[in-house]
Amino acid sequence: MCGIMGYAGERDAAPILLEGLQRLEYRGYDSAGIAVIDDDGVIHIAKGAGKLGALRSGLEGVYPAGRTGIGHTRWATHGKPTENNAHPHTDCTGDIVVIHNGIVENYLELRAELRDRGHKLRSETDTEVVPHLVESYVGGGDDLLTAFRRTIARLEGAHALVVFSAKEPGRILAARVGNAGGVVVGYGVGEMFVSSDLSAVLPETQRVTFLADGEIASITAGGAEYVDFGGAPLTKTPQHVPFDPVSAAKGAYKHFMLKEIMEQPQCIVDTFRGRASFDPPGVELEDLHIADDVLASVTRVVLVGMGTSMHAALVGRTYFEQIARLPAEVDNSSEFRYRDSLIGPETLVISVAQSGETVDTLEAMADAKRHGAPQITICNTPGAQTTRVADGAVLTRCGPEVAVASTKTLTASITALYLLACHVGRIRGVVDDARLAELLGELVHVPALMGSVLKTEPEIAAIAHALSSRPNFLFLARGTQYPMAMEGALKLKEVSYIHAEGYPAGEMKHGPIALIDKMMPVVALALDDGTREKMLSNIEQVRARDGIVVGIVTEGDAEIAAKCDYALSLPRTTPLLYPLLSAIPMQLLSYHIALLRGCDVDQPRNLAKTVTVE
């Protein structure tokens, strides 16, 4: 949720922190702040409410001097997004500085205790109790690390915490408590980095370690030492992470969202490249780490994810049922725990998570682990927490997705689920050579088909022009397209702030039809995937009530196109793979409507790319 960046080395820290925060801003952009310590041991703090740009403008190009520092972008949970609530927070003396991602669940109690002991707390945040607790232990004679460990022991909830002190200049401590998001330590030459996000350190170094729950890193310019919360030393060896930071640049595109929509054909190719083979047909998934006999013995699949990843999981459910012939269910990760779901070693649990750090998904996975279920994660972030918790992973190969609205990772996750279902079907003996050749043969055409759909952008922009002022939208579909209707509605809501609902089209007459009048655009996915006739009836019902029909139809289907106010056609593919194509017009429609409404496309209000609070 919040973004964390720290630096210790020989260079000026402030510009490095601001650069890192720029890459982290997608996590939260309610306020930003940095703290650096100069060579005389004086701490300088600069903060600004709003986006990082406000902090930069406030600095007017004059950066506080110092070679050790920390920085933060905030997604507000406790306390308004004001400058006063911006991190870093300090203790009474100003000598101890803290940034934080997560929620201190017992902060009211701790605030009261600290106030009673004479501490002056100045913000409305939960975070501020942390530097004051550290201060109280340091005041009692502890060194910074001991004080930090004792402070952590007092906090309830899940956190990533970073602290430094004027008493021990040059040292930064970072801890991961639970699943509130990652902590990555980057190893440079004579300099070290720490961040909530791999993508923020990658332009500086690709040698990193990841903190697990219960670990603390003590970082100086010369390296890092690790201890557990009991103070026992830990050995952690830096790993090399192959990731191309250049692909995080916006390139020629006005927005990351548009760039990422356009990258989809390549992401699909990259996701199946080297995994699908055609003669003889085969699927090889390099990071599964689950023995074939375990996969052959599962009797059920449960998929979990949130938001767009949950929509990918819904498409995956169809793949497991229709390809691998296994009963499959999907749950929002956040709901999974309330079900007391009857899972065990016979249930394969598959989590879908772009970031691999979504706390709801990590909690669902922890629950599945307690029940002994084998787990696979579909993830776009190498080394992320879901990949470390699951037995195995199928990594999507999209590179960093910077826009808060997920686009390319949706279609790449669907592709990964398709490959996984083929693989499991093969192991179960329900997908023979001929069927596999057919399934993979169809997939291989999809990137080119996606390319042709992307070329229809001008048509989609024209529809956006006609409809951008409508206050509500409905998205209707059936079968495999139903999750895409939900995704279409989610995309529109999040980037344009238009109220939108995605419904299974059969539900329309059970309530939503009451909303339809001449002001209501209805996006109807009416493809030749076995749902066409029923969708045609839905379209007729919308027309009869003067609704505006935007049809997403199969190329050459003049009959349905003629019934629509606006028709967008998709090239033919198989019913199972249509979601990879139908996602695109809805992504582009949302993008263009958001542009026309003057919305902040890449960083919509109130959102964060990675949600690490519950």
Note the residues at the interface with ligand M6R (CB under 6 A): 306-309, 353-355, 358, 361, 404-406, 494, 610-611
> What is the number of other CB atoms lying within 10 angstroms of the CB of residue 452?
15
- Tell me whether residue 100 or residue 491 sits nearer to ligand M6R (CB atom): 491
- Among the listed residues 259, 491, 563, 609, the single catalytic one is 609
Min separation Cβ 608 and ligand M6R, Å: 8
Secondary structure of residue 59 in the 3-state scheme? helix
Is 47 an annotated catalytic residue? no
Cβ atoms 421, 435 nearer than 8 A:
no
- Please state, in angstroms and rounded to a whole number, the distance separating the CA atoms of residues 274 and 42: 54
Q: Are 476 and 519 in contact (CB under 8 A)?
A: no
Phi, psi (5° rounding) for residue 6?
A: -140, 155
Question: What does DSSP assign to residue 211?
Answer: P
User: Which residue, 309 or 415, has its beta carbon nearer to ligand M6R?
Assistant: 309
Minimum distance of ligand M6R from residue 309's CB (angstroms): 4
First to last CA, the chain: 10
Least Cβ distance, residue 174 to ligand M6R (angstroms): 22
Q: Which is nearer to ligand M6R, 151 or 196 (CB)?
A: 196
What's the min distance (Å) between Cβ of 266 and ligand M6R?
Answer: 20
Nearer to ligand M6R, 31 or 610 (CB): 610
Q: Is 105 exposed, middle or buried, given 0-12, 13-18 or 19+ CB atoms closer than 10 A?
A: middle
Angle between helices 578-596 and 264-272 (to 10 degrees): 150
Q: Taking the complex as a whole, how short is the minimal distance between the CB of residue 404 and ligand M6R, in angstroms?
A: 6
Q: How far, in Å, are 90, 208, 454 from residue 183 at the CA level? A: 21, 10, 37
Task: For residue 36, report the phi and psi dihedrals to the nearest 5 degrees.
Answer: -130, 155
**Residue 463 structure tokens:** 């529809």
Structure tokens belonging to residue 319: 């793949």
Q: Which is nearer to ligand M6R, 85 or 381 (CB)?
A: 381
**609 in active site:** yes
Separation in Å, CA 162 to CA 144, 183, 394:
12, 9, 31
Is residue 108 a contact partner of residue 54, using CB atoms and an 8 Å limit? Answer: no
Active-site residue, selected from the candidate residues 2, 379, 398, 422 = 2
Tell which residue, 494, 553, 488, 554, has the closest CA to residue 521. Answer: 488
- Measured from the CB atom, is 305 or 547 closer to ligand M6R? 305
Q: How far is the CB of 483 from ligand M6R (least distance, A)?
A: 12
When CB distances to ligand M6R are compared, the closest residue is 307
**58-62 CB contacts, 8 Å cutoff, 24+ apart:** 59/14
- Cβ closest to ligand M6R, residue 134 vs residue 353: 353
Tokens 């991602």 — which residue?
Answer: 101
Residue 503 CB, nearest approach to ligand M6R (Å): 18
User: Which DSSP string corresponds to 506-539?
Assistant: GGGGGTGGGG-STT-EEEEEE-TTT-HHHHHHHH
Query: Could you give the residue numbers annotated as active site?
Result: 2, 609
